[in-house]
Structure 1
Amino acid sequence: MADPDFQSMFVPFLCEFSDGEEHAIKQVTEAIADGMDLTRQDREEMLPSGSQRRLANRVGWARTHLKHAKLIEYTGRGVMKITQRGLDTLSSHPNGLTLKKILISLLNTTSGTTKNGHHLRHPLTAINAAARVHLKSKSLV
């Protein structure tokens, strides 16, 4: 396989959803493979463990990170759609999106309040704090 990493699939993944419609992960995986001109052999290549196809693994990791960043949302089993945040991110990063950019976007997410006026903490507060420490230790920020 040309061995694209999961980060290289962020923009193609979001592009598949840019129509605002729901899409099944299997269809998205095939569309990404077509867009990357992967051969049948590339598409069928297994991970060293033999438990999963490498392409499905990479697309799965891309999906996981995009969902945690609230760029996509699940609408059913194996079915997703892009969020407004995902559309905004795609328009501001059409040529590439990295995990670093996604983490920074999450770190900049502001919390809000509930309708009762209670402070609503971001559900990833602990992860955000850990990510800040990690990013600073790696001199990425």
Structure 2
Amino acid sequence: MSARVEVPAIPSWQELTRPVLAAMADGSIHSEREIRTKVLEDVGATLEQRRVMLPKTPRPMFDDHIHWALNELFEAKAVQRVSRGAYQVTERGNDLLIGHPEGVPKKLLMTFPEYAARQAEQRIRRVRR
């Protein structure tokens, strides 16, 4: 009988917002792949963590959480999507990075009108379904 290996917890998208912003701090345009590689490296993701797959899709959970962090930062206008799969940090994103070293949780993103409006739209859509 083999021993079960415990995999360290995978950070939530909220816990990854700051590392995502930090990966783009130089102001250059970065592909999602570059951002993902830098974030995985910066947070010290283990091989075991990188291999954990989402339950219903064949996608690594860590990659999914990084993607969601990028998407939520985009909705809050902290990053801009320059082209498909290419992002650049905005002035707001730099301000968040500098002003919030502890991280950028959803509660903080909700203080931005664009983000709050988008969240309200999504709630309405879910109710209508």
TM-score, scaled relative to structure 1:
0.73
1:86-140: CA deviation from partner (whole Å, max 9, x where unpaired)? 1112111122110000101x13xxxxxxxxxxxxxx6x67547x49xxxxxxxxx
For the aligned residue pairs, the C-alpha RMSD in angstroms reads 2.0
Find the partner of 1:60 among 64, 67, 71: 67
Q: Whose radius of gyration is greater, 1 or 2?
A: 1
Tell me what 2:14 maps to: 7
1:20-50: CA deviation from partner (whole Å, max 9, x where unpaired)? 0011111111111111111122112101114
User: Could you tell me which amino acid in structure 2 is paired with residue 64 of structure 1?
Assistant: N
Find the partner of 1:26 among 20, 28, 33: 33
Tell me what 2:79 maps to: 72
> Would you say 1:36 and 2:30 are equivalent positions?
no
**Residues 1:38 and 1:86: Cα distance change in structure 2 (over 3 Å):** same
**SS of equivalent to 1:81:** strand
Separation of aligned partners in 1, 2:117 and 2:107: 17
1:38-77: CA deviation from partner (whole Å, max 9, x where unpaired)? 1122112101114311011101110111000000001122
* Structure with the larger RCO, 1 or 2 (CA within 8 Å, 6+ apart): 2
User: Could you tell me which amino acid in structure 2 is paired with residue 91 of structure 1?
Assistant: I
Separation of aligned partners in 2, 1:102 and 1:125: 8
Contact in 1 for aligned 2:13/2:69 (Cα 8 Å): yes
**SS of equivalent to 1:49:** coil
Separation of aligned partners in 1, 2:23 and 2:16: 11
The number of residue pairs the alignment matches comes to 114
Which consecutive segments of 4 or more residues in structure 1 shift more than 6 A?
Answer: none
How far residue 16 of structure 1 moved from its aligned partner, in angstroms, is 0.8
Separation of aligned partners in 1, 2:20 and 2:99: 15
TM-score, scaled relative to structure 2:
0.79
